[in-house]
Structures are given as C-alpha cells and as structure tokens.
Chains A and B, each alone.
Chain A
Amino acid sequence: MAEITFKIFRYKPGVIDSPRYDTFKVDVEDYMTVLDVLEKLRLDDPTLTYRHSCHHGSCGTCGMLVNGKEVLACVTNVMELGTPVVTVEPLKNAPLISDLVVDMVPFFEKYGPVEMPLIRESEYLPEGKPSEEVGTYTRLESCLECGLCLSACPMVATDPDYMGPAALAAAARVVQEPRGQDAPAILKMVDNEQGCWRCHSAMECSEVCPNDVDPGGMIMYLRQKLISRKLKGHY
C-alpha cells in the first residue's frame, strides 16, 4: 500500500467553467486500478463524474488520459504506473460534457454507419470441434468502441470530419469478413480524403488500442485493397 497523489481534471458547465485540477491523496492497495480509485473518491465527492460499466476492459466506457496516455481506467493498475503523482484527464478530440465524461455521439456518428456486425467467428482454439448444432464458434468483435484511438490520433485533432481509426478499422473488418454487409460499398465509402487517405501512419491508434484491434494496420489493409483494385482496373 502506498499514498498516491491524484490530479483529476474537473469541468462542469456553469459551475467550473474554466477547467481545473483537483488534488486528492489516496491510499492505494496493490490490486487497485485507476477506476477503483475514482470509485473510492466518488463516495466522498458524488459530483465527480466519469464513465464506467464492466470494470474489466470489455465495454470500453472508461477511456481516459492517465499520465497523458489514453487507457481504459479499469485495467490500468495504479502501482504499475510507478509515478507518485497520477494525472487523470478526459479523452481528447471529443466534446467534453463534465469532468472525465466525453460525448460519444460524434464517435458513433462515424462508427455507426459502417454497421460492423458485433459477432464474428472465433479464431481461438482452432483445434476445438464445435458441435454440429452450433456449427462454428463465434465471439464478440474485438473493438470496444472506447474512442482511445480517436483521442490519440494527431489527424483527428485537426480534422473533425476525418472518419478516424475506429470507424476505418470497423470498415476493414467488414471487408475482411462481410458477414452479410456490402463490402464493396464500404470500400467505396472509405476511399476519399476524409477516409483512409487522411491517415499519416503515425500508428498512435494502434499504440493505445486496449484490445489489439490495430486500427493503424487495418487502415493500411484498406489502402492496399484500394490500390490493388485501382491497379487492376487499369489493365
């Protein structure tokens, strides 16, 4: 157990109009995550707002900046950060509602139209033979829709109309496995300067992705698909 200082970003429209940082000293146990600390703090200060749901990195709601890096608070162990002061801020490149809460509506306005199916075939334990009744094993898609990649992307920072890594990665998933979706239409949708050609391969999205979606790699996959289609069209 150690005492850690938390600097937490606070903003509330009409109450705290110019954002400030509140400082809290917290006794942290070695199993505690940043989300556990926030939960503890909220018992004393119910006005502290943040998003959270599943507490194990499966729902993607608790994305925030911890010491300047985009993480899911629920799977970020405080002690493993190794800093005596931990700074907690909301995600960048998204409208700020209050404290650590950002508005996810713009994220889903980009992401939703791709209509990536939530269920995919499971590639785990390929040696396993599912029963005839089930046919093939399925699993939930990897993308948690947390928005970390959009926050880390330097292009989204200056061009809010850029589709961004999450939606492009979803598009690439549809191209890889259409599962009933219209893959050529999706390819056409991303083939423009607000789609996969805005990316400058900084790969910051893949760096922060909590679930190995590798959005940067997926954008490169889309580009290669588009280029080879274009070349084929010319001869």
Chain B
Amino acid sequence: MLAEEYKRPEPLWPKKRLGEWFSIAKKGAGGWAFLLHRLTGILLVLYLFLHFYVLSTLSRGANAYDNLTVLMESPFLLLLELGLVAVIVYHGLNGIRLMLLTLNVGVKQQKEMFWVVMAITILTTIIAALFMF
C-alpha cells in the first residue's frame, strides 16, 4: 500500500454520558456533594408536584383533606416525610455551601463544609424523628 492510499480512521467520539452525573465512582467529597444535590433537587421537584396534589384536596372541601391527613399518619408515610426533612435540609445547606463557593469563600475548605452539611442534616433528621415518633 502506498501512503496516498492510506488514511487513518477518525477517532471514536464519546457519547454524552448522563451516567457521570449519578455515577458513584467519585474522586472526592465535592463529587458526592454534587451527586446528592442533584438527586435531592430532582426529588424535591417531584415532591413539589405531590404537595400540589395533596393541597388540591383543599379545594374539594374539608372532608377530602381530612381523609388524606388521616392516611398520612401511617408509619410508612411518616418515614417518607422524615426522608423529606433530610432531603430538604441537605439541599438547603449544601445550596448555601455552593453559594459561598461561588463567592470564593472557603473553597479550600469545601470538603470540610460538606462534612458539616452532612452532620447537620443527620442531626436535624434525628431531632425531627424524635418529634415525629
């Protein structure tokens, strides 16, 4: 074969990989913070719609709403609600962490800040659990 006839094929282009957002092959605390922030964000949007549905019963009078709240006293739903508390606290606190980072505050301590966020989240969840059960 002569050089004129030879051509190396084009390199293989990678596809967009959504999995990287949710992959657990993380390199550091910041990666985990990102993953959790994204997951909790998505969960909260879903919850927002659910919350709208629950409140929509208000428009159908007292009975409809009160029937639903009785349902919500079930231990399973209470547990979900506890999860909700954890999700909200995490998303909120980490949101503050992200805001501080963007203002170039505590960038060197971002890992420690993540651990603080996690600690407060867990603590709040435990306190909430004591109130609920």
Contact = CB atoms under 8 A, between A and B. Distances in A.
A16 B31 CA distance: 33
A224 B103 contact: yes
A223 B101 CA distance: 9
Interface string B105-122: 001101000000000000
A interface, size bucket: 35 or more
Contacts of A103: 11
A11 interface: yes
Contacts of A152: 27
A14 B6 CA distance: 13
B12 interface: yes
A119 interface: no
B60 interface: no
A157 interface: yes
Nearest to A68: B25
A102 B38 CA distance: 30
A221 B108 CA distance: 12
The residue in B13, B25, B104 that gathers the most chain A C-beta atoms within 10 A of its C-beta is: B104
Interface residues of B, number: 33
Interface of B: 8-9, 11-14, 16-21, 23, 25-31, 33-35, 37-38, 98, 101-104, 107-108, 110
27 contacts: A11-B12, A92-B17, A93-B14, A95-B11, A96-B11, A102-B11, A103-B11, A154-B23, A154-B34, A157-B17, A157-B19, A158-B18, A160-B16, A201-B33, A202-B31, A203-B30, A203-B33, A206-B28, A207-B28, A214-B107, A217-B107, A217-B108, A220-B104, A221-B104, A224-B103, A227-B102, A227-B103
Given A157-B18, A202-B30, 12 more contacts: A68-B25, A95-B13, A96-B11, A159-B16, A201-B98, A201-B101, A202-B31, A204-B27, A206-B30, A216-B30, A217-B108, A221-B104
Q: Considering the complex of A and B, which 3 residue pairs feature the smallest CB-CB distances, nearest first?
A: A203-B30, A202-B34, A224-B104
Interface of A: 11, 13-14, 68-70, 92-97, 102-103, 152, 154, 157-160, 200-204, 206-208, 214, 216-217, 220-221, 223-224, 227
